[in-house]
Structure 1
């Protein structure tokens, strides 16, 4: 059986997240492989892949904070809000100033309501929005609350009628960087879209830990499940008796370790479970002891 743990992949451009999972199934020698947080084919960078028991961590890891390096072009709108779509409108951005860009970015920082792109995997009446959009249907997507912790402008370049903005964005799960590019362009009255995207961090896992598929083909490096949990979540060490309770799916007294998942480790340092505190008890989210 393959080792249970995480593989931090540096996803190449033009690959879907599903393509990466298919490749990792072959490299890891198991069908039990999944990923946390989809990256569009155009995007590169950190894709967290879970193997064996670690697949049960992925839903929790997908909710962690993420960091992206992005390129935004002002003056051109597309139907996908990124460079892979068809151009739907152009407007000269020649007169857009650096101060206006920074003011627009500031308005998109913090807790905001964001309408996802028309071409997205969100379901509307049981159908994926992107399928409806590609069939020519007008998709009504509701605005959703997201948090942009930081939207740092690194460079602004005027290129004729367009303006290119390089940015580093730290945000909550569910934030569409394509939508930020679209909304920045809309706020400036010239339209905009995403030209490049690289994810550099998912929770505690950053690009320095990531390996390319070619590197993983040479050596399939797996971060053991216990180390993966200890890096991502608060840790709770328990006694032998508490370990027995947890291993059978029982609850423990809460210790006030926070609202999110907590890694529970036995007397020997082995990972037993993820728990979540609610009131006075800590209930299991996933048990790994068996």
Structure 2
């Protein structure tokens, strides 16, 4: 870790003032001006030493990063440890390889203590990205000198497609469909919704959705997870690529919440019906990376 020192904008204002005082002291041979000049130079030097000391004992490691959908807010944490025998004050953290202007602040860290610092930034595009470098900086104690160092992270993360779309689920396989007499097979567990077919019993119509202005939808039930549901790329042929991915992402999230097995079919990948967090992550990651132009910025 190499701590770099540079003048802050306040320090850059002070330098011309010091030069003007030096010229005045030389021109008028004024000892009082010399005294004030050397005092200010001493303050600048001492400020640089304390500013350097404020960062020299810090250790920064990557923490956690949370899943995020396009249009949402990326949240990730850093673990900060003070290895020195003196407290650390007013340290800022900023992702250097991003256009994001958000800075996290650690106002105080006692000797030997550790702290979790959370950073946030908005994300607009799906795909795989990387946090390359984190900049840690401070102006403590006087704001005249800025000390900073960089932490290489190379921290990959995936932004899932934007959650957008309100189309009903595709038809579920026969083992979970409601029968024409209004009874359902295999148990009492709610599985999902599908379009109402003319002539079917109205016993399981979702009347609350109808009251909200939605089309007629039929509640479906399953037992023991025997029903299977496919979310297929070709089922949304009337939509453009990003709209398809957004609608499929909505379906995948809804399918996971319903608790039954669901599968995903993309032009280049097929995920067999399954359940669980791992399956959800696989499906959403495949949607995020489908023909995505990966990059290092978000």
Q: Which has the higher contact order (CA 8 A, sep 6+)?
A: 1
Q: TM-score, normalising length from structure 2?
A: 0.20
Q: Which has the higher helix share?
A: 2
Larger-gyration structure (1/2)? 2
Q: TM-score, normalising length from structure 1?
A: 0.20
